[in-house]
Amino acid sequence: MSQSGKVLKEFGSTNVFGGSVQLLSGTGDLGALSLSKEVSLVTTTGAATATLADGVLGQKKTVVVVAHGGNLVLTPATFAGGATLTFDAASEYAELIFTSTGWVSLGTTSTVA
């Protein structure tokens, strides 16, 4: 096994290019973001909302608005340091990790409220 294969196995990384991306598009209630996909790419065609359930300790989630037709308001079930994330432009993103206090932002271009 190659060294890179060992690192992927040891740290449980998912291969984004291997299908761990969720594609969402629409307006209104988009429902819950997938916890089984590390990345959610969202296209809004009007004002939209989505939720994010609690994950497992150490789980990472990246949300990217790839095309903006209206604001996306994301409400995590437990969000340390806020209640919602609002994405109001294309290419905005949030990188989150789930901790004992809930989802924590590792970095974001969205508005935290």
Q: pLDDT tier at 4 (50, 70, 90 boundaries)?
A: very low
Give the Cβ contact number of residue 42 at 10 Å.
24
Radius of gyration of the chain (CA): 14
Distances (CA, A) of 2 to 6, 35, 75: 6, 29, 40
DSSP 8-state class, residue 71: -
Report all structural domains of the chain as residue ranges with CATH numbers, in order of start: 23-112 (2.60.120)
Of 4, 44, 46, 41, residue with least CA distance to 21: 41
What is the percent of the chain where pLDDT is above 70? 83
What is the percent of the chain where pLDDT is above 90? 79
Q: What is the pLDDT of residues 59-100, one digit of tens each?
A: 999 999 999 999 999 999 999 989 999 999 999 999 999 999
pLDDT at 62: 97
